Structure 1
Amino acid sequence: MKSNELLLDAFGRIHETVARTLDGADGEALVRRPTGNGNSMAWLIWHLSRVEDAQVSSAAGLGQVWTAQGFAKRFDLPLSERDTGYGHSSGQVDAVRATPELLFEYYDAVHRQTVAFLEGLGDEDLDRIVDKRWDPPVTLGVRLVSTIADCLQHVGQAGYAKGLNSEPSR
């Protein structure tokens, strides 16, 4: 298996899990916050989508799907177009509201851009430095793996929140 095939599989698992998590979720469940102050499903899916969009587009030298494809306007959030959710206050988490269809449409568009980028990668590309602000500098491979880890963590949290919103099984 080539490195890009492994990365495609990992990002594909995020895509599948986002789709399953949003399936059957209603507007009320999407904005309910576990224990009253945890992150809502809507915020978690929006945030992981923004993270993948911002990280992969930057590393690939592409425009973010969020702005390039008009999702910032469609979501119409009271946030900066550059906002990805890091350090959000409780009020900012509450402000992220969207239908499951819009959340998935955005993530799906991000995923398609990620896949197109990954399909052209060779193993040697993974050693390219993409961020010199860290010591050691961050390579493309490290950036992609950290993005996968972050997105999987957040989609898992969204799935957990969905389970909290469901009727208990008997």
Structure 2
Amino acid sequence: MNSASVLLDAFGRLPRGVHRVVAGAHDADDGFLTFRVDPGANTIAWLVWHLTRVQDDHVADVAGTEQVWTDDGWAERFGLPLPARDTGYGHSADDVAQVGVRAPLLRGYFDAVHAATIGYVETLTDADLDRVVDTRWDPAVTLGVRLVSVVGDCTAHLAQAQYVRGVYERRR
């Protein structure tokens, strides 16, 4: 097994979790997509949107491609009152509330980003992962470190969304 295979496995674990956490929702009005554990907490809709935006942004950057969000028209389909390059980093509770979108959009956008990510990672060799992609840090960030960071961020936000879903279901 090479490094790209490990990354493919890690990214490959995300779709099942994303689909399960939004399963049963057809609209933001279904309740649990916009449910908050407390007034300042993140919603499932925001968490899934954010983890997908971060993956899209970071992978497009290292791959040298356009983001799926803007290039494939997802920004227009979502119609959020946020800048097109916004990934959700630093959002306030009010910003989080603006991401009340339908589950099919969340799944569709995630699936498109996942496909782009897998397509890119499948092209990588072990040597590629040593390429420096960000010199703003000390030590500089390599492609391998950046991709592991993306997997970690996505996994953490997916776990948060699963927690919110569990709290919502227990309160019903």
Q: CA deviation at 1:37?
A: 1.5
Q: CA deviation at 1:25?
A: 3.4
1:58 maps onto 2:44 in alignment: no
Q: How does 1:4-153 map to 2 (within 5 A)?
A: 4-25=4-25, 27=28, 28-153=31-156
Structure-1 separation of matches of 2:44 and 2:129? 32
Give the conservation status (yes or no) of the 8 Å contact 1:25–1:162. Answer: no
RMSD: 1.3
Query: Paired residue for 2:160, among 157, 160, 167?
Result: 157
Q: CA deviation at 1:22?
A: 1.1
* 4+ aligned runs moved over 2 Å, structure 1: none
Q: What amino acid maps onto 2:86 in structure 1? A: D
Structure-2 separation of matches of 1:94 and 1:142? 32
| SS of residue paired to 1:36 | coil
Q: What amino acid maps onto 2:140 in structure 1? A: P
Give the conservation status (yes or no) of the 8 Å contact 2:39–2:93. Answer: no
Q: CA deviation at 1:67?
A: 0.2
- The count of residues paired between Structure 1 and Structure 2 equals 169
Unpaired segments ≥5 residues, structure 1: none
Q: CA deviation at 1:153?
A: 0.2
TM-score by length of 1: 0.96
Q: What amino acid maps onto 1:24 in structure 2? A: G
TM-score by length of 2: 0.95
Structure-2 separation of matches of 1:80 and 1:137? 29
Identity of aligned residues (%): 51
Structure-2 separation of matches of 1:102 and 1:77? 12
Structure-2 separation of matches of 1:12 and 1:23? 18
For residues 38 and 138 of structure 1, do their structure 2 counterparts lie closer, same or farther at Cα, with a shift above 3 Å needed?
same
Q: How far does the alpha carbon of each residue in 1:70-120 deviate from its partner, in whole angstroms, 9 at most, with x for none?
A: 000011111110100010011100000111110010000000000000111
Q: CA deviation at 1:36?
A: 2.1
